[in-house]
Amino acid sequence: MEILGQLLNTTLVFSTALIFAALGGIFSERSGVVNIGLEGLMMFGAFAAAVGGYYAQEAGMGEWAPWVGVLSAMAVGVIGSLIHAVASITFKADQTISGTVINFLAAGSTLYMVKLIFDGSGETPLIDGFSKVSIPGLSKIPVIGEGIFNSYPTTYLAIILVIVIYFVLFKTPFGLRLRAVGEHPSAADTLGVNVNKMRYVGVMLSGMLAGIGGATITLTTTGTFAHNTISGQGFIAIAAMIFGKWNPLGAFGAAVFFGLSQAIRNYVQLFEWSKSIPQEFIFMIPYVLTIIVLVSAVGRSSAPKALGEPYDPSKR
């Protein structure tokens, strides 16, 4: 039982970054802008969190330093996403291409700046990240207490955001407009919604959230930023978003699923029966399962209808 609680806890640690980034992806894609650049936006966030957190720590901010890291990640994530927004919305560039550009610029510029700021070092100095916070009372519940209510503050934030964003998207006028712009931009335009403005908002929110996602990795897992800090997490977040059918709750489920599979790696060696299975097959499980689940249950994808199409009022 104890191990189950620990497994759940580790699962959430690995899921948190994916949840943030997938939520970001949902904002962008629900507004009709493909965001292949989540990987790069996470990289920007992870970098900014490491640098911002480092300087805040140097300035003696103690426990608040990681939060400065999160704020820097949000800001840098938004700036990064603006490149994507300008290219794909204003200049009507192919959205897949401009998302790829974000990945490229992020990989290049973050390491360039790390080397510039820290005298040629390929890695930022190690900082103290967040520590786990147990919620009084709730953390005493068996399994769930250890698993959920003794987590990093970012994990709590992620779970709260899933619910908040679900309501924002599906129960508020803003959410309705955002989705309308992604489904049928010309109709939304006729009703007086500023299509391009909504899309800018969607993309910038995606940059902000993916930035926090990246920050989560440096501030809870690695403690530093280097070239391999993100390595594919952004693409997994995209998968989680599609897997979750562009719905915050679905994406949350998918992110936890991927987090679980990463966590299983840490625990699988503990059991006698699992030692005989080659480790590669255990590593493969989540990816194979994803495909199987997609084939058997989920079926046709339900992407926003106008996803990937720049809005051109003259073609209405």
Residue ranges binding another protein (CB under 8 A): 36, 83, 86-87, 90-94, 96-98, 100-101, 103-105, 107-109, 111-112, 115-116, 120, 228, 231-232, 235-236, 238-239, 242-243, 278, 280-281, 283-284, 287-288, 290-291, 294-295, 298-301, 303
Q: What is the smallest separation between the CB atom of 266 and another protein, expressed in angstroms?
A: 16
> Which CB sits closer to another protein, 147 or 248?
248
Phi, psi angles (nearest 5°) of residue 232: 95, -10
Strand pairing partners for 151?
Answer: 133
> Which CB sits closer to another protein, 84 or 177?
84
Q: What is the smallest separation between the CB atom of 66 and another protein, expressed in angstroms?
A: 26
Structure tokens at 83: 């490149």
State the Cα–Cα distance between residues 91 and 84, nearest whole angstrom.
10
> Which CB sits closer to another protein, 1 or 295?
295
Return the H-helix or E-strand segment holding 228: none
Q: What is the smallest separation between the CB atom of 102 and another protein, expressed in angstroms?
A: 8
The SS3 assignment for 134 reads: strand
State the Cα–Cα distance between residues 254 and 125, nearest whole angstrom.
33
> Which CB sits closer to another protein, 111 or 249?
111
Place of tokens 């779970």: 159
The SS3 assignment for 151 reads: strand
> Which CB sits closer to another protein, 101 or 205?
101
- Answer yes or no: are the C-beta atoms of 37 and 102 closer than 8 Å: yes
> Which CB sits closer to another protein, 136 or 315?
315
Q: What is the smallest separation between the CB atom of 26 and another protein, expressed in angstroms?
A: 15
The SS3 assignment for 133 reads: strand
Return the H-helix or E-strand segment holding 150: strand 150-151
Q: What is the smallest separation between the CB atom of 63 and another protein, expressed in angstroms?
A: 33
Q: What is the smallest separation between the CB atom of 274 and another protein, expressed in angstroms?
A: 16
Q: What is the smallest separation between the CB atom of 284 and another protein, expressed in angstroms?
A: 5
> Which CB sits closer to another protein, 83 or 159?
83
State the Cα–Cα distance between residues 98 and 285, nearest whole angstrom.
32
Place of tokens 């426990």: 63
> Which CB sits closer to another protein, 121 or 190?
121
Distance of CA 203 to the CA centre of its chain: 13
Structure tokens at 28: 């962008």
Amino acid code (one letter) for 141? I
State the Cα–Cα distance between residues 297 and 282, nearest whole angstrom.
22
Taking the C-alpha atoms of 109, 101, 53 and 15 in order, what is their torsion angle to the nearest 10 degrees? -140
Q: What is the smallest separation between the CB atom of 78 and another protein, expressed in angstroms?
A: 18
